[in-house]
Amino acid sequence: MGKKLIFLAAGFIIAASLSYASDKKVDLGKIVVTPYESEVEEADAGYTTSIFDGAESRQQGITSFRKVLEKDSSICSALSGNYGGTAAVFIRGANSHHTQYIRDDLLIYDPIAPSAYYYGWQYLPLDNIKKIEVAKGPFSSLYGSGSIGGTIRSFTKKGAGKPHIETEISGGSYNTRRESIYSEGQIKNFFYSLALTQADSKSFSAAKEKNGNSEKDPWHNFSSSLRLDYDFSPTLNASLITHYLHNRYEYDRLSFQVEDDDDNYTHYYEGSTEAKLSHQINRLKYNIVLGYTKIYRKGWEDNFTDYWYSGGTKQAKLEGEYAVNKIWKIVSGINYLKERGEGFWAPSYVPKHTAISRGLFMENIFRPLKNLLFSGTFRVEKHSKFGQHNTYSLSTSYFFEKTKTKIKASLGEGFKAPSLYQLYDVYSGNPSLNPEESQSWEAGFEQEAGKKVTYGSTYFHTYIKNMIDWVSTGGWSGKYKNVGKAHIEGVESFIRFFVSPHTSARLSYTYMEAKNAVDNTWLLRRPNNKITLSIESQSKKLKVFFDMSYVGNRRDSGSFTLKPYLLANLAFNYTLDNKKEVFLRIENIFDEAYEEVRGYQTPHVSIYSGIKIRW
């Protein structure tokens, strides 16, 4: 009965949307940057890349970076304790620490986390984000350590137009409130954009209520984002981008199961600053980037388990792009990364340590024929601890004009350096660790069927070796060692169609087998099957959004199996006039009971609404 209701609801939304006539055409042309570190039309790319528009996501009432990513069928996430909890993001089955996050030009991650990765997806707001790109596959040849499963990159919006201010106030289920203020504009050659956001929730319990838990876990989040640009000339630009984030939440005790605990809390602080100079001289474009990041975590459980961790990076890079001629472009760069970290959680602690990476890469992008694109990238990375590591990647695509068919393929290597924690923790660290390594390839096609329908399918395969796992040496003691291997393969398919000039839909499906190659067990929290459906429709004033996802069985720790679930959301955005708009979002509209991590509950049907005013 539930599935019938879902399909009926989807049909109702499509039918209703057709009644709102509009002559607006949808622009299919999109540019991707992440797979090539250069602007390439998405239609020509040999890599599979998903693109999400920040403004459109905000119109849907989506406030979390993580929820945007979940609209992709090849991405799965697992959140321990909703709202303020930490999130793992898996791209095509790779580990969460194999997912690399780049904000504009800076690598963002926690150097002192056990696997030195980024896990603040749930904390990140969408305010001041222009777009998000998810490049799937290894991109260590471009960006260095970390990009085995893929690279997620967000771009901060550059201010434009007459200076103005926008305020937004919203609220809803679980005593949730959110306030934000945004301003952007251009004053002669000066551009700016600024976003300040605060969000709170007070009535959600992370521990499952059906297990006798009733204590609520309040959550508070504050973030700021500022971008300043100055155009000295049409070919010379300078920019400064800063981000700050503070997240505070209470979490519950994990013993044999997740249980109420009213005095466990944690603080998460994240900051980054980037200064960039961009210049073009005839056929040569180059960028100089200097940056700094810091992540600080502290928490308290009882008098014996107070803890804190502090990690940061200093980053610099010089990149150039030279158009040799109409068919050949060279992208090359050097980068410097210094990471540092220290921490304490009784009785374990990590003394202050640093590591330095220096990288040099060169990429050649060829277009020998009108519809043929080929790229090849090679990178040399030198790490202060494990020495030199070389990686490469290749990609190609060809478009057959007669049949409107695109074929594409790519292959490459990835690697992940050991973290400072894995190297130097006094109880479990191992200075002899080597980098994790991967080899991946994909091949697929995309087919246009008339002007309204496009469909395609891509096979992907990844093998990871030297995976770093904690190995027990007796009792609670253990060491990190290179003992793990993983084998991942699957098929990612989609169909996109336009019901009318103002209504579009996209259905995608990913089948995947992600297994530990040592004992042939399934990797944790990766589904065999995931299906996503997104429908969007708009008139002159009303926009309607519907999305639904089916997530199959997943293995959790302790050999437990998480049941499949079907999650559907519905959102409306209505423009009152040129200065005001209101929105309504209903999440989990069929009140599905599901788990992403065993023992942690997820929200029931939830309703949120708000208003945005432009001054």
pLDDT(26) > 60? no
What pLDDT is stored for residue 23 in this prediction?
Answer: 38
Looking at residue 161, which CATH number applies to its domain? 2.40.170.20
Residue bearing the bigger pLDDT, 28 or 612: 612
pLDDT(361) > 90? yes
pLDDT(260) > 60? no
pLDDT(372) > 50? yes
What pLDDT is stored for residue 381 in this prediction?
Answer: 95
Confidence of residue 210 (pLDDT cuts 50, 70, 90): low
What pLDDT is stored for residue 426 in this prediction?
Answer: 85
Reference 129, options 154, 149, 96, 162; nearest CA is: 154
What pLDDT is stored for residue 290 in this prediction?
Answer: 98
Cis status, amide bond into 163, omega within 30 of 0: no
Query: What is the spatial distance between Cα 70 and Cα 602, in angstroms, rounded to a whole number?
Result: 15
What pLDDT is stored for residue 479 in this prediction?
Answer: 92
Contacts of 149 (CB under 8 A, 6+ apart): 90, 91, 92, 93, 94, 95, 98, 99, 136, 137, 138, 414, 462
Angle, CA of 311, 315 and 319, to the nearest 5°? 155
pTM of the model: 0.92
pLDDT(332) > 60? yes
Confidence of residue 12 (pLDDT cuts 50, 70, 90): very low
Residue 157: DSSP 8-state: P
Residue bearing the bigger pLDDT, 305 or 573: 573
- Residue 344 in contact with residue 300, Cβ under 8 Å? no
Length, in residues, of the chain: 615
- Which domain, by its residues, includes 261? 2-614
pLDDT(108) > 60? yes
What pLDDT is stored for residue 315 in this prediction?
Answer: 98
Mean pLDDT of the chain, nearest integer: 89
Count up the domains in the chain and report the number.
1
Which of 25-39, 106-120, 327-341, 495-509 has the weakest average pLDDT?
25-39
Mean pLDDT of 38-52: 93
Residue 20: DSSP 8-state: S
Contacts of 154 (CB under 8 A, 6+ apart): 54, 65, 101, 102, 103, 104, 129, 131, 132, 133
Query: What is the spatial distance between Cα 54 and Cα 57, in angstroms, rounded to a whole number?
Result: 5
Query: What is the spatial distance between Cα 443 and Cα 440, in angstroms, rounded to a whole number?
Result: 11
What pLDDT is stored for residue 212 in this prediction?
Answer: 61
- Residue 414 in contact with residue 98, Cβ under 8 Å? yes
Confidence of residue 386 (pLDDT cuts 50, 70, 90): confident
- Residue 357 in contact with residue 337, Cβ under 8 Å? yes
Q: 3-class DSSP state for residue 493?
A: strand
Residue bearing the bigger pLDDT, 450 or 475: 450
- Residue 150 in contact with residue 185, Cβ under 8 Å? no
What pLDDT is stored for residue 211 in this prediction?
Answer: 62
User: What's the CA dihedral at 260, 121, 114, 392 to 10 degrees?
Assistant: 160
Phi first, then psi, for residue 388 (nearest 5°) are -90, 145
- Residue 96 in contact with residue 116, Cβ under 8 Å? no
Amino acid at 409: A
